Amino acid sequence: MYYLSVEHGGRGGCIVNVASMAGLNPNPFSPVYGCTKAGIIHATRCYAVSEAAKKSNIRLNVMCPAFVDTPMFRQMAAGDASQTIGGDQTAVNAFIERIGVLSTEDVSAALIDILTDETRNGLILRCAKKTGNVYSTLTVQDV
Ligand SMILES: NC(=O)C1=CN([C@@H]2O[C@H](COP(=O)(O)OP(=O)(O)OC[C@H]3O[C@@H](n4cnc5c(N)ncnc54)[C@H](O)[C@@H]3O)[C@@H](O)[C@H]2O)C=CC1
Ligand SMILES: CC/C=C\C[C@H](O)C(=O)/C=C/C=C/C=C\C=C\[C@@H](O)C/C=C\CCC(=O)O
């Protein structure tokens, strides 16, 4: 953010952090992974409201795809026990089947939308097979 910021000689820009649907909705087979992704979402939220971001002309958003057909996903779907808990691959595969699997093209198109649409700022983007791309705000209720 420092080097992108207008204040420090940059031109501003757009940061898109990659979290996961597992950071919002529970994936019962990968709880620790889900915690790390929830952390990425919250870190993005904290940066998005920071004075540094407001002054910098940097847009901050976070993407939360459900399952995507990549090498990591295939490894998990093929039964790599280091990626899931419980040891029940039939249940893991039933869960994947229920949620559906996005293509990398689906996710790339969503990323291009965030990058090119300059009104997209301070947003969570959920990408899932059945619901498509759904934007919501990172903003939370004040206390
Ligand atoms: N595949 C899925 O179902 C989903 C993945 N994600 C997230 O999307 C991101 C990408 O995931 P996948 O493509 O599935 O993983 P992947 O394991 O298939 O690919 C990751 C790529 O990152 C590269 N990489 C790893 N460490 C690196 C480093 N320090 N510097 C540069 N490159 C590095 C690897 O060589 C590999 O090409 C991850 O953050 C993952 O948690 C989010 C939601 C769903
Ligand atoms: C580990 C490597 C592969 C993929 C990681 C990926 O990021 C990931 O884990 C994605 C998860 C997506 C989860 C999506 C949806 C979750 C839906 C929940 O609302 C389901 C609710 C309860 C589950 C219990 C049940 O009813 O089965």
User: ipTM of the assembly?
Assistant: 0.94
Which atom from ligand 1 is nearest to the alpha carbon of 65?
Answer: 43
pTM of the entire predicted model: 0.96
- Tell me if 17 sits within 8 A of 63, measured CB to CB: yes
At the top level of CATH, which class does the domain 6-137 belong to? Answer: alpha beta
pLDDT, tens digit, 9 for 90 and up, residues 93-132: 999 999 999 999 999 999 999 999 999 999 999 999 999 9
Q: Where are the domains of the chain?
A: 6-137
Ligand 2 binding pocket includes 66 (Cβ within 6 Å): yes
Give residue for tokens 């689906």.
106
Q: Quote the CA–CA distance of 126 and 123 in Å, as a whole number.
A: 10
Which atom from ligand 2 is nearest to the alpha carbon of 66?
Answer: 12
- Tell me if 26 sits within 8 A of 66, measured CB to CB: no
Give residue for tokens 């990591």.
72
Token reading at 110: 């969503």
Q: How far is the CA of 28 from the centre of ligand 2 (A)?
A: 7
Q: How far is the CA of 96 from the centre of ligand 2 (A)?
A: 7
Which has the closest alpha carbon to 84: 42, 143, 25, 31?
31
Residue 33 among the catalytic residues = yes
Please name the helix (run of DSSP H) or strand (run of DSSP E) that holds residue 52, with its range, or none.
helix 51-56
pLDDT for position 52: 86
Q: Which DSSP letter does residue 102 get?
A: B
| SS3 annotation, 118-130 | CCCCCEEEEEECC
Torsional sign, CA 69, 75, 77, 81:
negative
Ligand 2 binding pocket includes 83 (Cβ within 6 Å): yes
Q: How far is the CA of 49 from the centre of ligand 1 (A)?
A: 27
pLDDT, tens digit, 9 for 90 and up, residues 27-57: 999 999 999 999 999 999 999 999 888 888 9
